[in-house]
Every structure is written in structure tokens, then in C-alpha cells.
Amino acid sequence: MRIAVVGAGIIGACIGLALAKRGVEVTLIDRDEPGHGCSYGNSGAISPGSVAPVAMPGVLASVPRMLLDAESPLFLPLGYLPRALPWLAQFVASATPVRVEESARRLHAFHEGAVAKHVALATEVGVPELILQRGHLHLYPDELALAKDAGGWRMREAYGYKFERLDRDGILALEPRVGERYRIGLYLADHATVLNPLRYVQAIVAAFVAKGGKVQRAHVRSLQSLPGARWRVEAGEASADFDHAVVAAGAWSVRLLDPMGLRVPLESQRGYHVQFPGASQTISRTVILADKKIFMAPMEEGLRVGGTVEIGGLDRPPDLRRAAMLERIVRETFAGLEGIEPKTWMGHRPCMPDSVPVVGPAEGRPGLWLALGHGHLGMTDSIATAERISGMLVQPMKLTIQEKAA
Ligand SMILES: Cc1cc2nc3c(=O)[nH]c(=O)nc-3n(C[C@H](O)[C@H](O)[C@H](O)COP(=O)(O)OP(=O)(O)OC[C@H]3O[C@@H](n4cnc5c(N)ncnc54)[C@H](O)[C@@H]3O)c2cc1C
């Protein structure tokens, strides 16, 4: 069986490795070096407790004000509003209590066991040092700010995720450099952090190649269905035929699916990070400035401060005011960053209106598989996604024969 996986981000890399381990001939195709899309600059948080979708009833009340305020965690440039409206309408429709419960149930199924899975995978691909198991500390200035997130915390509790409430002294005992502003902490001790998302993807791809997988660097121009549910992949100047094709091209997946008439409501939620080189000792675990929706991580190469949602599409240049806002907030909150010039990055989170990724066969297109829409939690859900796709793709019969032979 020959399979093409389009996209070598964390999702495509994990799928490639899972399939190669099952003895399948896989070609992983990306126009860039593996891991240089959204998977490059994320905050590395493995957050199984984040079962609440982005579209929560409470969030919606504040959306109109947030959308037009360039300093808020959510921003939509007015010029992009007409393009975004259909997606926003679905986002709003998915925020009813019944649909939120359904999304949480489906997200939990992806998230469950994520920390143990990433510890095992990092060990398997030779980079166990990349997984930091010191928990996540969420910070709030006051009760009012905490109350705005109450729904999310209730859902974590309902799904069995344990957290501890800390006062100012408790916060300082864990993270002595947190500034005055933050008085309430909620600590999830069993959450984890990938300390270098790019190096993690590279290690997974190296393990994939060691298992016989092929990496092809080319822009995929189109996917064409052939008789017998096979697929032709036109990549760069060449084309090749495969028994199956998996689309794991992140936020750009729509550009491959639209020409086929496959409509998936996927929108880019552009996020930014600023990274202060050499300043990772500022914190010793993932710290979340929850009122600002900012994630800070002590990455291998420095202190990474990620966040903001900007619904502005795939083509606009980065809006550096968003990154400057992250920089200002973190400098106000933590001393010791004076004189350090941060590096700035923007990436495209591939987001579905209900926050639930699309993982499985493409409807009405035998042989075509979708693994996209992981939104804010693609690192967390990458292994579960790969397990699902490889489990569905490789027939149980074939597996049994191979396992017996081994
Ligand atoms: C600021 C920020 C912080 C985040 N923090 C976290 C976090 O803490 N925890 C977490 O779990 N998630 C986090 N995320 C989300 C996470 O990064 C994404 O969900 C995840 O990276 C998506 O992975 P992907 O493989 O689907 O997409 P990508 O990493 O974008 O990979 C898609 C790949 O497809 C390739 N591609 C696209 N089109 C084509 C084509 N036509 N031909 C060839 N190649 C193509 C691209 O080059 C790219 O390499 C964060 C995201 C952002 C922006």
C-alpha cells in the first residue's frame, strides 16, 4: 500500500510515523522543511484538560467588542469581515449549551492520555528531554477575571482533570518572578510542555525516515481522484499515484479541498509569539496569563510568549502590533527582560467553528483522508490523530498478518 501524506507539520509527521511503523510505504510531502508551518512556533503546551471549545456562550457576549479592539486577545481586521462572516456564523451557532457539551465530549476523546502519549513518543524518537512535566499554572488578577473562565474550569473538573487553587504566596512558591498583578493561580500539576516544537517534529520525521518513510519537498498543486479509489498527487513539476492520500496541510488544507468541491469550514486563527533568547529561566513551567489569553513557555532557546487570535486569512502580512502587545504585557508582568530583544513569529492555527478537528475519510471521496482543523491544540492531539488515521487506514487483517510474521 502506498500512501501520500500532504503536510509535514506535527499532524502529518505523527501520521507518517504511525503508518510507517505499520509497514506502509509513505511519502510525506511538504513545500517547506518539516515543522516550519504552525507547528514551528506554538507554545508547546500539552493541555488535555482544555476540553472547552473556543466558542463558549460566555465568550460570545464579549466578541463584538473584542473583534474591533486591536489590543484584545481576539481581533478581526474590518476588511476581512465579509470573508469571515460565514465561518463566524457557524462559530456562533456552535456555542449553544448542547453543542458545547458535544464538542467537549469529542475533544476529550482526542485529548485523553495526551501527556503519557507524548512522553512515550519523545522517548521513542530519542528526545525525551523535550517533554517538561511540571504542570501548567493559570494566573488571574481577581475573582471577576476568574469568573469569566468558570465554564472552562467546570468542564475540566467534570472530565476528571485535577487542579489546585493558589493564593499570591502559592503562586510565588512556584514562580517567584510573577508580577504584582496576579493574585489567583489555578495549577494543573499533570500537564506538560514540549520545550522545542520544531526539534520535536524533526525528531519524529527522522524516526519516520529510519522506518523507510520518504520525505518529498514540493508544493502540492492538486489531488486528483483516479479509478479504483486511487489518488494522483501533483507536486512541483512531477506527479505520482497512490492508493490513499491524507490531507494534513494545516490551515492551507482548504486550498487543496476547495477545487475538488469539498467544503470544510476551516479558518486561520492567526497567532503570534515573541521569544526572548536566553531568558527561559524567567519561569520554570508553562505559565498562562489567563485574563490576556497568553501562554508563556520556558523553551530551549528562550522564553516564548504566545497568544492572540487574529481572524485575517492566509494572505495578509503579519500585523506586528499584535506581537508588540504580547511583548508589552510580558515586560509589565515579569522583571528581568530588560535589554533582551525578542524574535517575532506568526502562524496560522487551522480552526473549525466548533474547535473539533476533522479526522477520518473524506465524505464521498474514497481513498482520501482528512487530518486537519486542530486549532489551538494540534500539538496535544497529534498522536491521537495519528492513531485514528493509521487505525482506520491499515486494515486489521493486514496488521494481524504482519504481526504474526514479526
Ligand atoms: C501562537 C500559537 C500557539 C499555539 N500553542 C499551542 C499549544 O500550546 N499547544 C497545542 O497543542 N497547540 C498549540 N497551537 C496550535 C498548533 O500549533 C496547531 O494546531 C498545529 O501546529 C497544527 O499542525 P498541522 O500539522 O495541522 O499544521 P502545520 O504545522 O501548519 O503544518 C501544515 C504543513 O502543510 C504544509 N503545506 C500546506 N499546503 C501545502 C501544499 N499545497 N503543498 C505542500 N505542503 C503544504 C505547510 O508547509 C506546513 O508545513 C498553537 C498555535 C499558535 C499559532
Cα(9) to ligand 1 centroid in Å equals: 6
Per-residue pLDDT of the chain (406 residues; tens, 9 = 90+): 999 999 999 999 999 999 999 999 999 999 999 999 999 999 999 999 999 999 988 666 777 776 667 677 788 888 898 999 999 999 989 999 999 999 999 999 999 999 999 999 999 999 999 999 999 999 999 999 999 999 999 999 999 999 999 999 999 999 999 999 999 999 999 999 999 999 999 999 999 999 999 999 999 999 999 999 999 999 999 999 999 999 999 999 999 999 999 999 999 999 999 999 999 999 999 999 999 999 999 999 999 999 999 999 999 999 999 999 999 999 999 999 999 999 999 999 999 999 999 999 999 999 999 999 999 999 999 999 999 999 999 965 454 445 545 5
Cα(95) to ligand 1 centroid in Å equals: 24
Query: Which of 330, 201, 313 is closest to 255 using CA atoms?
Result: 313
**Residue 45 CB less than 6 A away from ligand 1:** yes
Residue 171 Ramachandran class (φ > 0 left, ψ -120 to 50 alpha, else beta):
alpha
Ligand 1 atom 48: residue of nearest CA: 37
Query: Which of 139, 149, 138 is closest to 57 using CA atoms?
Result: 149
Which mutation among 40, 258, 379 tests ligand 1's pocket best, with the greatest number of atoms within 8 A of CB?
379
User: Cα dihedral sign for 338, 341, 346, 347?
Assistant: negative
**Residue 376 CB less than 6 A away from ligand 1:** yes
For residues 152 and 54, is the Cβ–Cβ distance under 8 A? Answer: no
**Residue 10 CB less than 6 A away from ligand 1:** yes
CA angle 76, 78, 83 (to 5 degrees): 80
Instruction: Give the count of beta carbons closer than 10 Å to the beta carbon of residue 332.
Output: 12
Q: How far apart are CA 121 and CA 193, in angstroms?
A: 14
Contacts of 192 (CB under 8 A, 6+ apart): 45, 46, 115, 118, 119, 131, 132, 133, 134, 135
**Residue 379 CB less than 6 A away from ligand 1:** yes
**Residue 306 CB less than 6 A away from ligand 1:** yes
Which mutation among 43, 204, 215, 351 tests ligand 1's pocket best, with the greatest number of atoms within 8 A of CB?
43
Which mutation among 110, 196, 247, 252 tests ligand 1's pocket best, with the greatest number of atoms within 8 A of CB?
252
Residue 161's SS3 state is: coil
91-129 residues labelled b (16+ CB within 10 A) or e (exposed): beebbeeeebeebbebbbebbeebbebbbebbeebebee
Strand stretches in 40-159, DSSP E: 45-46, 74-75, 131-132, 136-140
Cα(402) to ligand 1 centroid in Å equals: 33
Per-residue pLDDT tens over the stretch 224-266: 999 999 999 999 999 999 999 999 999 999 999 999 999 999 9
Cα(403) to ligand 1 centroid in Å equals: 33
Ligand 1 atom 1: residue of nearest CA: 271
Q: How far apart are CA 372 and CA 126, in angstroms?
A: 26
User: What's the mean per-residue pLDDT of the chain?
Assistant: 94
Output the nine-digit C-alpha cell for 96: 449553544
Domain ranges of the chain: 2-405
Ligand 1 atom 26: residue of nearest CA: 250
Q: How far apart are CA 68 and CA 112, in angstroms?
A: 36
Looking from the CA of residue 347, the nearest atom of ligand 1 is: 53
Burial of residue 159, with CB atoms counted within 10 A of its CB: 0-12 exposed, 13-18 middle, 19 or more buried: middle
pLDDT of residue 49: 98
pLDDT of residue 349: 98
Query: Which of 104, 174, 147 is closest to 291 using CA atoms?
Result: 147
| Cα separations in angstroms, 327 against 86, 138, 177, 272, 347 | 32, 19, 16, 10, 17
Q: Superfamily for 2-405?
A: FAD/NAD(P)-binding domain (3.50.50.60)
CA angle 288, 291, 293 (to 5 degrees): 55
Ligand 1 atom 22: residue of nearest CA: 378
Contacts of 338 (CB under 8 A, 6+ apart): 331
Backbone angles phi, psi at 61, to 5 degrees: -60, -35
